[in-house]
């Protein structure tokens, strides 16, 4: 889980699923956000980074910690979904923080989905930082910050 505090009143937690250990404040899809233009200082975007069949222990259900990874049908579905999200985020904010794990697709390739955004910072998560997870054990994870052009 990314959020140490799910109940921070300065944030709005959105997900298309509600069957989560910490259900979202708002159930919606990121291609159609139920918010007015420019309302957020920042959007934090942590999409699933995999498609197809998940390893059995993840199984596209709540994991042991109650998280829900989600998975795209295929690579094209993933790219289209992330492009739509990146377009919609431009409507509601000027700043975007994007988390990516290179489990299936390298960062430089997924960054092509963010047209109209300028990358201002890229940070590679060092293994062992925070809670050690399967992601950190198996692949590189990154935080990327963008500002709207």
Q: Which residues bind ligand SAM (CB under 6 A)?
A: 1-3, 15-17, 29-30, 46-48, 67-70, 81
- For ligand SAM, which is the closer residue by CB, 116 or 130? 130
Question: Looking at beta carbons only, is 117 or 141 nearer to ligand SAM?
Answer: 141
CB of 32 to ligand SAM, least distance (A): 9
Minimum CB separation of residue 27 from ligand SAM in Å reads 8
Q: List phi, psi (to 5°) of 78.
A: -65, -50
- Residue 135's SS3 state is helix
Nearest distance, CB of residue 121 and ligand SAM, angstroms? 19
Question: Closest separation between CB of residue 43 and ligand SAM, Å?
Answer: 12
In the complex with ligand SAM, the residue whose CB is nearer, 30 or 118, is: 30
Measured distance CA(103)–CA(117) in Å, rounded: 23
Q: Following DSSP, what letter does each residue of 29-97 receive, concatenated? A: -TTS-SS-TT-BS-EEE-----BSPPPTTTTTSB-TTS-B---BSSHHHHHHHHHHHHHHHHHHBSEEE
């Amino acid at each position: 889980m990314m959020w140490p505090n799910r109940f921070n009143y300065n944030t709005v937690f959105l997900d298309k699923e509600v069957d989560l250990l910490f259900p979202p404040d708002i159930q919606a899809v990121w291609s159609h956000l139920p918010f007015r233009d420019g309302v957020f200082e920042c959007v934090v975007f942590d999409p699933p980074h995999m498609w197809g069949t998940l390893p059995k222990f993840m199984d596209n259900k709540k994991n042991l910690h109650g998280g829900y990874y989600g998975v795209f049908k295929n690579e094209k579905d993933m790219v289209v979904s992330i492009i739509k999200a990146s377009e919609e985020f431009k409507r509601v904010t000027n700043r975007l923080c994007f988390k990516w794990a290179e489990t299936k697709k390298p960062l430089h390739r997924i960054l092509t989905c963010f047209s109209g955004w300028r990358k201002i910072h890229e940070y590679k998560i060092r293994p062992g930082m925070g809670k050690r997870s399967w992601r950190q054990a198996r692949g590189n994870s990154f935080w990327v910050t963008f500002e709207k052009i």
